[in-house]
Amino acid sequence: MTELKCRDYGFECDYVSSGETEEVIESFRTHTDEEHGIDYSKEAIMQFLLRKQGL
């Protein structure tokens, strides 16, 4: 299971996206675009996930 939290990336926001990797990427992208006005690419979100895993 994959998980991303807005708070981990500098936002004062309690949003958490968890589940399958593709679902998490799309959910997190949609949230950051709609709520924070930042349109991250799929590649950028994948980099967040890789860094979180220490890769």
pLDDT (tens digit per residue) in 19-55: 999 999 999 999 999 999 999 999 999 998 898 877 6
CA dihedral sign, ordered 8, 13, 14, 20: negative
Alpha-carbon Rg for the chain, nearest whole angstrom, is 10
Expressed as residue numbers, the domain containing 13 is 2-52
Count of the separate structural domains present in the chain? 1
Place of tokens 């991303």: 4
Q: Which helix (H) or strand (E) holds 17?
A: strand 16-19
pTM of the full structure: 0.86
